[in-house]
Amino acid sequence: MKQTGLLAGTRVLDLTRVLAGPYCGMMLADMGAEVIKIEVPGKGDDSRGNAPLVKGESAYYMNLNRNKRGMTLNLKSEQGKEILKKLVAKSDIILENYRPGVMEKLGLGYEELRKINPAIVYGAVSGFGHYGPYSKRAGYDIIGQAMSGLMSTTGWADGSPTRTGTAIADVMGGLSCCTGVLAAYTNRLRTGMGDKVDVSLVDSMVSSLEIINMIYLCTGRIPTKIGNRYEAIYPYDSFQAKDGMAIIACGNDKLYNALKERLQIPELEHEMFATNIDRVKNHAPLKEILEKWTVERNIDDIVDFLLEVGIPSAPINTIDRVVKDPHIAGAREMFVEVEHPVAGRIKLTGNQLKFTNHKVEIKKPAPLLGQHTQEILAEILGIDEDEFNLLGVAGVY
């Protein structure tokens, strides 16, 4: 199948499993790269067993591995290693998220692979990165969220530290790897030299904490859990409505003045709310005043009333509302259907990148385990059917 899109003609070998690495590979595949998912024979990516399952197929796996072709390869066998090296010689990018040192033990680390292909871009995602005192520790999303400080600032003041609803450290790790790989690939196109991109889940989350870090670095105050409000701006919070909760987000004095004008509540004129700094300091009484107004109204009525005069407001949507939203699901196509050979017609989460001159499309479902092994080996390495069968007998795939 001819590749189209911004990254058409770029070949990626994706050895990653579960979420962070596959998310990076998914982004590259959605943008048109030829991404070859390489899995352990017989077992495959651990996430193939992750819920929810549709006719025995993991929706978790199907979402993160769409637009990829799939093959199996035993990297513990000498023939398997040689095949991977031959594929590296004819590829642009390789992705892995093994614990640091595993690929080196296999003889497939960056220093070895760059001898075969000096232009190869090697993207590695791990919990703590490939150097430093914690580099050999196992890394999972919840560990990234915990050690970065995110969990200590997430939740309500009287509650326990809380992980986000999604695996945000893994997602940030995948996005960071994608960004780094594309930067290294751009440099490679200019200079002919590849690079190793070393991404840590913890580093990615520390970077994402932006103002949280700066509060401590500049003032010595340790940020704590503050619910849904924001440290730097107020009102920028969730407010109770009759039928749920709504967001009001006044990011500057102009918007707060518009809010005062719209609501006509005398207490909002108090001097303790005169500037943003004042409002941040006095957020508790301000929230109480605003919530007396919101609690008497339905979410959509609040949002519509404020949006009419340009005040940022939104419902706190449940997922059933999100997937029916005319903007998110409709115009922005954030949920798309594909036909899977086993699961049948299934909806996946769309891609967030939109380009003026190129359409990011989800054309292919995630591969079945080893689905394209023979096709890939024949197409790229010229391995005929007899040789392929002998490799199968030897347990190479």
Provide the CATH number for the domain around residue 308. Answer: 3.30.1540.10
Give me 288's structure tokens. 């109480």
Q: What b-and-e string marks burial along 361-386, b requiring 16 or more CB atoms within 10 Å of the CB?
A: bbebbbbebbbbbbebbeebeebeee
Q: Are residues 49 and 132 in the same domain?
A: yes
Q: Are residues 90 and 160 in the same domain?
A: yes
- Directed axis angle between helix 373-381 and helix 385-393, to 10°? 130
Q: Which helix (H) or strand (E) holds 110?
A: helix 110-116
Residue 312 burial (CB < 10 Å; 0-12/13-18/19+)? middle
Q: Are residues 60 and 158 in the same domain?
A: yes
Question: Structural domain of residue 291, as residue ranges?
Answer: 236-317
Domain boundary among 289, 317, 345: 317
Q: Are residues 105 and 241 in the same domain?
A: no
Domain assignment of residue 119, yes or no: yes
CB of 289 closer than 8 Å to CB of 237: no
CB of 93 closer than 8 Å to CB of 84: no
Q: Are residues 350 and 311 in the same domain?
A: no
Average model confidence (pLDDT) across the chain: 97
pLDDT band at 155 (very low <50, low <70, confident <90, very high): very high
Q: Are residues 201 and 252 in the same domain?
A: no
Mean pLDDT of 288-292: 98
pLDDT tens-digit map of 101-119: 999 999 999 999 999 999 9
How many independent structural domains does the chain possess? 2
What span, in angstroms and rounded, lies between the C-alpha atoms of 238 and 295? 11
Give the DSSP letter of residue 5: S
Predicted pLDDT at 32: 97
Mean pLDDT of 34-56: 97
Percentage of the chain modeled with pLDDT above 90: 99
pLDDT band at 356 (very low <50, low <70, confident <90, very high): very high
pLDDT band at 1 (very low <50, low <70, confident <90, very high): low
Domain assignment of residue 223, yes or no: no
Domain assignment of residue 137, yes or no: yes
Is the pLDDT assigned to residue 328 strictly greater than 80?
A: yes
Predicted pLDDT at 3: 72
User: DSSP assignment of 295-353, as one string?
Assistant: TTS-HHHHHHHHHTTT--EEE---HHHHTT-IIIIIIT--EEEEEETTTEEEEEE--S-
Mean pLDDT of 350-370: 96
CATH number at residue 25: 3.40.50.10540
What span, in angstroms and rounded, lies between the C-alpha atoms of 97 and 114? 18
Q: Are residues 299 and 193 in the same domain?
A: no
Q: What b-and-e string marks burial along 116-143, b requiring 16 or more CB atoms within 10 Å of the CB?
A: ebebbbbbbbbbbbbeeeebeeebbbeb
Q: Are residues 183 and 252 in the same domain?
A: no
Domain boundary among 261, 283, 317: 317
Q: Where are the beta strands (DSSP E) in 80-207?
A: 93-96, 121-126, 195-200
What span, in angstroms and rounded, lies between the C-alpha atoms of 13 and 337? 25
Q: Are residues 296 and 347 in the same domain?
A: no
Is the pLDDT assigned to residue 262 strictly greater than 70?
A: yes
Give me 241's structure tokens. 């409505």
pLDDT tens-digit map of 144-154: 999 999 999 99
CB of 91 closer than 8 Å to CB of 11: yes
Is the pLDDT assigned to residue 2 strictly greater than 80?
A: no
Q: Where are the beta strands (DSSP E) in the chain?
A: 11-14, 34-39, 53-54, 57-58, 68-72, 93-96, 121-126, 195-200, 236-241, 244-249, 313-315, 335-340, 344-349
Mean pLDDT of 155-177: 97
Mean pLDDT of 29-46: 97
Residues in the chain: 397
Domain assignment of residue 33, yes or no: yes
Q: Are residues 181 and 246 in the same domain?
A: no
pLDDT band at 195 (very low <50, low <70, confident <90, very high): very high
Q: Are residues 55 and 180 in the same domain?
A: yes
Q: Are residues 56 and 188 in the same domain?
A: yes
pLDDT band at 4 (very low <50, low <70, confident <90, very high): confident
Domain boundary among 317, 344, 364: 317
237: three-class secondary structure by DSSP = strand
170 tagged catalytic: yes
- Active-site residue, selected from the candidate residues 45, 92, 141, 170: 170
Is the pLDDT assigned to residue 236 strictly greater than 60?
A: yes
What span, in angstroms and rounded, lies between the C-alpha atoms of 241 and 154? 22
